Amino acid sequence: MPLDVAARMLARAALTEATLHDRLVSRGYQPKTAARAVTRCRELGYVSDERLALDRARVLRMRGAGSLKIEDDLRGRGLPEALVTAAVEASLEGEPEISWARRALERAGEPCGARAWRLLAVRGFAEEIVEELLGEPG
């Protein structure tokens, strides 16, 4: 019952289709059997790389992450570059990246100087965005 096993895995956490396939194979299912289970999960709407990318990008954005951090997270999950790019763009919700950087600073208590630079850099905002918002470092 690889479909049952796959459904239980997906109930615990959202997975990419490739990760789901690999986990089924690591549980002892033949690759073809695992591929059929993944296909059926996709047909049933249980798994979708596109939905995973969009949802994950939005969650990270709402937590104060910049585009670079979101891209790294999605790439780390093995998602295709086109999907990563589309998800990052959608997570902006039509607003410029600098607006999201400003919000991240506000939520962090509006630090200034080097502390603000570090915060935005760690959260994955590009140097150009940080510089535009805060000016030159130091």
pLDDT reported for residue 85: 97
Mean pLDDT of the chain: 94
pLDDT reported for residue 54: 97
- Show the tokens assigned to 14: 């959202």
What whole-number distance in Å separates Cα of residue 27 and Cα of residue 10?
Answer: 15
Q: Is the pLDDT of residue 2 over 80?
A: yes
**Could you report the per-residue pLDDT of 61-87, keeping only the tens digit for each?**
999 999 999 999 999 999 999 999 999
Q: Is the pLDDT of residue 114 over 80?
A: yes
**Could you report the per-residue pLDDT of 39-56, keeping only the tens digit for each?**
999 999 999 999 999 999
